[in-house]
Structure 1
């Protein structure tokens, strides 16, 4: 079944260009377009959206605020930040609100499609040039928010899943590695997130690195 995608950008030419690029990929179905953050929120609440390409700077409601609301109400939706700004402060804000990917508007079409497909498969995409700074910032932001160790009792299988998540593996890849179903992987992830007090894969990966569950 194709990935249901929403394009959220206040520039008509950008939206048209993205739609043309993505229309050639049979695994992606552009469900609609939004010209501001509020439209993006409303569309996501009323339609079966899997992924949002979200411009950061939009009128009425910013991409940042739209991201926060969407992730609160429909956390299963993957959000990819789309911006002309190669500035890490935007990235830090979006990560705090739960984005799964970050691409510049001049990204190569193949890379954009790869990112969309990857996020739909449970992966996260952060620019390599910003990875070290992102981990440092997330570590600072979450240093006082980690739960007590008594609440972190993970089973051996959950530890294996968490280690693979921290290495950037998708649910499908984890399932293949551990010889289990993708549904079982999702169940493990739900339990892991609850036990360690996080809400997404990026935070879980950070936890694994901080606790030396995995060394990258």
Structure 2
């Protein structure tokens, strides 16, 4: 979202008119948001422009969700059975929430993905089977700090000075980042970190 834009524009997609109306009403109660369109099918958003798509996901959306969207997309899922986390993230999805999410969680997720972050609900992170199938290992806050500094081209020595830790500890963090992101160079780590929304250029 650009600096001059004060309102977050959202498209709500849900097959159920009840869910559509509920999500739209909840979002529009917040002065930071405006729902530019509320539609029943993901195909209807092709020509529309928004900052975030909030999608009530189900099996019928599975093939379509693989497409690369222009906007940040948050999906709300009923359950995690038959849920391919790797495919969903590769499609450009920035947030995954269960249907049991509270209003405050949905609002926080919208604001986070607009800021360039990825939002995974604790139910997703705690689902070990999903993480195992995806080979996704979450970076620690400190590792994300280190990765962001690598993005800025900092050496291990500079990273150590900025974080007030030893170079040995920095090397440990870098090694852990490489392992978790399945990369072998700093450039690859930065590229994967950006794609996953862990860091911003």
The answer, yes or no, to whether TM exceeds 0.5 is yes
TM class by shorter chain equals: 0.5 to 0.7
Residues 58 and 78, structure 2, Cα contact 8 Å, conserved in 1: no
TM-score (norm 1): 0.58
Q: Cα offset for 1:196?
A: 5.0
**Separation of aligned partners in 2, 1:193 and 1:204:** 14
User: Which of 135, 138, 146 does residue 139 from structure 1 map onto?
Assistant: 135
Q: Cα offset for 1:103?
A: 1.1
Residues 12 and 38, structure 2, Cα contact 8 Å, conserved in 1: yes
User: Which of 40, 50, 54 does residue 35 from structure 1 map onto?
Assistant: 40
SS at match of 1:100: strand
**Separation of aligned partners in 1, 2:131 and 2:95:** 14
**Separation of aligned partners in 2, 1:65 and 1:199:** 25
Please state if 1:202 is matched with 2:196.
Answer: yes
Q: Report the equivalent of 1:55.
A: 56
Residues 73 and 95, structure 2, Cα contact 8 Å, conserved in 1: yes
Give the greater-gyration-radius structure (CA).
2
TM-score (norm 2): 0.62
Count of aligned pairs between the two proteins: 151
Q: Cα offset for 1:38?
A: 1.3
Assess, with a 3 A threshold, how the Cα gap between structure 1 residues 26 and 194 changes in structure 2: closer, same or farther: farther
**Separation of aligned partners in 2, 1:79 and 1:129:** 18
Instruction: Name whichever structure is richer in helix by fraction.
Output: 1
- After TM superposition, list the pairs within 5 Å mapping 1:1-216 onto structure 2: 1-40=6-45, 42=46, 46-57=47-58, 62-71=60-69, 74=70, 77-87=71-81, 89-131=83-125, 133=128, 134-139=130-135, 155-156=153-154, 197-198=191-192, 200-202=194-196
Unaligned runs of 5+ in 1: 141-152, 161-191, 206-216
Q: CA RMSD in A?
A: 3.2
Q: Cα offset for 1:30?
A: 0.4
Residues 67 and 79, structure 1, Cα contact 8 Å, conserved in 2: no
